[in-house]
Structure 1
Amino acid sequence: MSVDGWITGNGYRRTVCPYEGCSEVVIDECKGGGRQDCPRCKGVFCFDCGVKWETNHLEKCKREEVVFMNAAKEENLKRCPNCRFFVQRKSGCRYVTCRCGTSFCHKCGVEHCHCLSPELFADIYARIRRFVSSAYCGCFS
């Protein structure tokens, strides 16, 4: 079993240290969230919202979280299913890669999704038909 499989299989959450130059993947072994020390850089941060810890953080965290979540919806941000970091898709393929290395579907937020739309299948099929008809005798037209 891989380390990732063991972590998720045992119900541990993980996140990425927010300190610049660190980006260590941190596991919430106590399953409590809140204040967390990074084992690599020793920076203190909030495991739940992923920002550097400061005085009265828990009160600010709850207020700011509501405002941030509303802004995240407007900006089309999705949480990585692995580390919970927010990822924004500007254009192109709906599969995005987070800074932790996890690739996932930006539409549904799942690593290996099955939410491809019928329109996308129609587009793929049309492209295949054009390629095949140009490569061969044209009998697929």
Structure 2
Amino acid sequence: MLIDDGEEVVRESQCPHCGRMFCAQCKVAWHVGMDCGEFQKLSVDERGNEDVMLRNLAQSQNWRRCPSCMFYVEKSVGCSYMKCRSGYAFCYNCGLQAVSHTCQSCHK
């Protein structure tokens, strides 16, 4: 049980029964590596512990998501032009749809 005394916003708390950390603001298991605003922006099917771990790994490895199908992609070599398995072509740097190998937005 949490008591709102109006003085401090409680975010991270520990369950007195099981000892696990949880977010008192989002009312879920603690979302490591992201603030409540970022967590709230995730769709419901991306909020599981494994999904958050994948998101953190993708962020640390500098992976991008296809703007069309949201599948993670990784650029290992070459220019920033990416063509996802869904067929959608986009710039790896800025995420905008690409029609050629030179992005008109970020000029890479």
TM-score, normalised with respect to structure 1: 0.38
The structure, 1 or 2, with the larger RCO (C-alpha pairs under 8 Å, 6+ apart) is 1
Kindly name which structure, 1 or 2, has the bigger radius of gyration based on alpha carbons. Answer: 1
